[in-house]
Amino acid sequence: MLILPVTRLAQVADAGAIAEMSRSYIEQGLGWSWREGRVLRAIRDPATNVAVMTESEAIVGFGIMQYWEETAHLALFAVRPSYRNRGLGSRLVNWLEQPARVAGIERVRVEARADNAKAIAFYGRLGFVPMRTVSGYYGGVVDAVQLQKQLVTRP
């Protein structure tokens, strides 16, 4: 029997683990901006969902999605390397997109490090289209590719 990780909203107690995953898997080589306090603010923000995937209570992936009137922004997203290429990241992004779809939000934006071809390809498989490259987006050090996915098409 295959047991899949469970997706749920993050709790205050999850903030430290999320921050550590950000430092290890996203912000390596950069200044550490998603520390525990910033993650806690996101968890408490009513316009933001912080979701975690857990297996045996351990966080194996997370995503932070901010929702506005017409646009949602996937601000931070990671899956532990040993859990990648199993469809979990796709499930987690879809879980975070559902409130946006219900609310009629038109599009989701995300940035990926320009030097992370695997992340850019992952978002492409989910329907995100590269819009532009922003020089020095990450701490003035690393460029970002901004991608966008249309959820709703207005007549």
Above 70 in pLDDT, residue 62?
Answer: yes
- Kindly report, residue by residue over 116-140, the tens digit of the pLDDT: 999 999 999 999 999 999 999 888 8
What residue spans define the domains of the chain? 6-150
pLDDT by residue (tens digit) across 25-42?
Answer: 988 878 788 999 999 999
Question: Does the 6-150 domain belong in CATH 3.40.50.2300?
Answer: no
SS (H, E, C) the chain: CCCCCEEEECCHHHHHHHHHHHHHHCCCCCCCCCCHHHHHHHHHCCCEEEEEEEECCEEEEEEEEEECCCEEEEEEEEECHHHCCCCHHHHHHHHHHHHHHHHCCCEEEEEEECCCHHHHHHHHHCCCEEEEEEEEEECCCEEEEEEEEECCCCC
